[in-house]
Amino acid sequence: MVKQVTEINDASYLFNTGTGFNSQDYLGCHLAATGRAVFRVWAPHAKAVAVVGDFNDWQPNRLKLLGATGIWQGQLAGVHAGDLYKFQITTATGQVTLKIDPFAQQFERKPGDASVVVEPVSMVWHDSLWLARRKKSHAVNRPINIYEVHLGSWRRHADDSYETYAELATELIPYVKQLGYTHIELMPVMEHLLDASWGYQQLGYFAPTSRFGSRDDFLNFVDQCHQANIGVLVDWVPGHFIRNYDALYQYDGTPTFEYADAKRADNRRWGAWNFDLGKTQVQSFLISSALFWLDQCHLDGLRVDAVSNMLYLDYDEGREGQVNQYGDNRNLEGIAFLQKLNTTILARHPDVLMIAEESSAYPQVTGAVADGGLGFNYKWNMGWMHDTLDFFMMDPLYRHDHFNLLTFAFVYMFDEHFILPFSHDEVVHGKKSLMHKMPGDRYNQFANLRTMLTYMLAFPGKQLNFMGAEWGQFLEWRDWSALEWVDLKDKLNKRMQHFTATLNQVYRQNRPLWELDHAPEGIIYTHTDDPESSTMSFIRQAKRKYSFVVAAFNFVPVERREYRIGVPYRGHYELLLNTEDQAFGGTWTKLETDFTADAIPYRGQPASFTVTLPAMGALLIRPVKIMRGGVKHAR
């Protein structure tokens, strides 16, 4: 008995001091072998707390406050897995409300939001080989090519109902593998009520959404991804939470999870409440949530949403002019929380990815915490994404006047470790699909899209594409219906899909395209200062001296014959990819596949060769046998 009390005191102490990083093992509902269950909930300013559910005909059973911990506890008999329950909170003013269990690992299907009693996770995993590989070679040193998915609209049944986790495993995993992506990134799967929020206004921070099945169904989905050698990343939102009054808001009748300052608590931009990131119990809650998804669900990383909202006091509407004690707009609690989050997670899981969706120019997002950085592995390169889209949306006639949209990113490409994203945010709310953004007739739209995706692949940084872009869906994304799979009956869409699979294969098989993504020596600028021709070429270099890929781009629909490209060595080169190959929907029926570089210096390189650069197209070329000092070197 003394040991049990000590363990409880230790767990409550850790939770209250911001160091309880497995708080879900203590708080919430926990079944015992005797058919009983222990309920614990943090409600420090409540007058009384009870639990109601299927097991007591929704009549309150009072819980007992554990000293000064702010935690209420009770043990009930006759509680079984699958039972629904809530906590009944009596506030200091006598108001009685029903609240969710913040630590629930499953919820009933919407429109209900009761928590569900579940057994402890007892998953038998089959992904030991995947995890061993992940530990041996960190993803930073491997190709990362992410397929971003909204599970509710990737595919649906004929009656428009959702597919289950099991059905998605059967269909989505082979599809992603066939297309050659390395990872799936799921838009939030944490439980949420409002479909239109896409999961970014979360209800359950420890619960996979019940839309597609149970918690264990989700675990099986992840396990099958890993068995297919596909990593799984999930979007996670520690900055703000759902507005609903039966959720976390004023949980015990006072600001509990959110800021006490109403102005700081109110998140107008997203219609949510901001977490008080300086509160130690909130830190325990959120870091426990992150580790739950990584520990218990075997995820390979989290993309942390809306980081900018946590970095600045004045980021949201109505908070203009807010400053900290130093007179600037930094949210010091938010910055400290992010550093603590990443330090804690990467100490326990140095092989997972922590990715920041951060839209400002805040410095050192991926810098080491010891050096004042935030400690993320990666940051989405939003500047590159906006500039690249703006350039490709432009009529080619005017592109030469705006070439800086492409070249500006060369200035800062190594300031952070970047992921290049063409995400869901860019193909919704009237922004048009990637395909629809492209100028010209249908043929030219496909040509532009192929060239843009090749430019993305060749540019330093890992990469992400949202579902539907792989075949050039014309309609912008609609979260309420499935992708337009009927498009694939059209030969141009089908060939675009084939192009994407080929492009992804070229990426994975050629180390220069990913091995030195974050080092200046990973790129050699050969022809990047010629806006008048609207062409560009550069070389991506691998660690091995003689391993590199030449990338050449033509951003206007005018074929360039005898286009000279400078390279480091004389020798023989071969074609990896021509975006205008007829097999991809282009017009070239006969490809130039072999090139000879002679000792003709060009643009700072000692050798060069000429190609026919396709109109509105791109070429990827690599050396086969090169000459250096009179000696041949094979690739």
How many CB atoms sit inside 10 A of residue 561's CB? 8
Say whether pLDDT at 164 is over 50. yes
User: Cis link prior to 238 (omega < 30° from 0)?
Assistant: no
Question: What is the spatial distance between Cα 267 and Cα 223, in angstroms, rounded to a whole number?
Answer: 36
Question: What is the spatial distance between Cα 494 and Cα 280, in angstroms, rounded to a whole number?
Answer: 53
Catalytic machinery residues: 305, 357
Q: What is the pLDDT of residues 414-429, one digit of tens each?
A: 999 999 999 999 999 9
DSSP string, 209-234: -GGG--HHHHHHHHHHHHHTT-EEEE
In one letter, which amino acid is 391? F
pLDDT band at 140 (very low <50, low <70, confident <90, very high): confident
Residues whose CB is less than 8 angstroms from the CB of residue 87 and which lie 6 or more positions away in sequence, other chains included: 39, 41, 43, 49, 50, 51, 52, 98, 99, 100, 101
pLDDT band at 633 (very low <50, low <70, confident <90, very high): low
- The pair phi, psi for residue 175, each rounded to 5°, is -65, -45
Question: What is the spatial distance between Cα 616 and Cα 117, in angstroms, rounded to a whole number?
Answer: 58
Nearest alpha carbon to residue 510 among 548, 460, 459: 548
How many CB atoms sit inside 10 A of residue 46's CB? 25
What pLDDT is attached to residue 34?
80
Q: What is the pLDDT of residues 182-200, one digit of tens each?
A: 999 999 999 999 999 999 9
Question: What share of residues in the chain are helix, strand, coil (percent, to 5)?
Answer: 30, 25, 40
Domains of the chain plus CATH, in order, are 2-116 (2.60.40.10), 148-510 (3.20.20.80), 520-634 (2.60.40.1180)
What pLDDT is attached to residue 139?
80
Say whether pLDDT at 542 is over 70. yes
Q: What is the pLDDT of residues 216-255, one digit of tens each?
A: 999 999 999 999 999 999 999 999 999 999 999 999 999 9
What pLDDT is attached to residue 635?
61
Residue 29: which H helix or E strand, with range?
A: strand 28-31
Say whether pLDDT at 3 is over 70. no
Question: What is the spatial distance between Cα 75 and Cα 5, in angstroms, rounded to a whole number?
Answer: 14
Residues whose CB is less than 8 angstroms from the CB of residue 599 and which lie 6 or more positions away in sequence, other chains included: 570, 606, 607
pLDDT band at 1 (very low <50, low <70, confident <90, very high): very low
In one letter, which amino acid is 505? Q
DSSP string, 466-498: ETTGGGT-SSPP-TTS---GGGGGSHHHHHHHH
> Count of alpha carbons within 13 Å of 480, Cβ hemisphere only?
3
Which neighbouring-strand residues pair with 607?
Answer: 567
How many CB atoms sit inside 10 A of residue 34's CB? 8
Say whether pLDDT at 489 is over 70. yes
Q: What is the pLDDT of residues 562-582, one digit of tens each?
A: 999 999 999 999 999 999 999
Greater model confidence, 434 or 110? 434
Question: What is the spatial distance between Cα 166 and Cα 220, in angstroms, rounded to a whole number?
Answer: 8
- The CB-based long-range contact list for 585-591 (8 Å cut-off, 24+ gap) reads 585/443, 585/446, 585/447, 585/450, 585/491, 585/492, 585/495, 585/496, 585/499, 586/447, 586/450, 586/614, 586/617, 588/614
Greater model confidence, 3 or 279? 279
pTM, two decimal places: 0.96
The average pLDDT across 464-492 equals 97
Say whether pLDDT at 2 is over 90. no
The average pLDDT across 161-179 equals 98
* Residue 522 per-residue DSSP state: G
Q: What is the pLDDT of residues 4-22, one digit of tens each?
A: 445 557 999 999 999 999 9
Question: What is the spatial distance between Cα 544 and Cα 618, in angstroms, rounded to a whole number?
Answer: 25
The average pLDDT across 290-312 equals 97
Q: What is the pLDDT of residues 18-69, one digit of tens each?
A: 999 999 999 999 998 788 999 999 999 999 999 999 999 999 999 999 999 9
pLDDT band at 467 (very low <50, low <70, confident <90, very high): very high
What pLDDT is attached to residue 5?
46
What pLDDT is attached to residue 631?
53
The average pLDDT across 515-542 equals 96
**Residue-wise over 289-323: b if at least 16 C-beta within 10 A, else e?**
bbbbbbbbbbbbbbbbbbbbbbbbbebbeebeebe
What pLDDT is attached to residue 634?
60
The average pLDDT across 323-331 equals 93
Residue 506: which H helix or E strand, with range?
A: helix 491-509
What pLDDT is attached to residue 549?
98
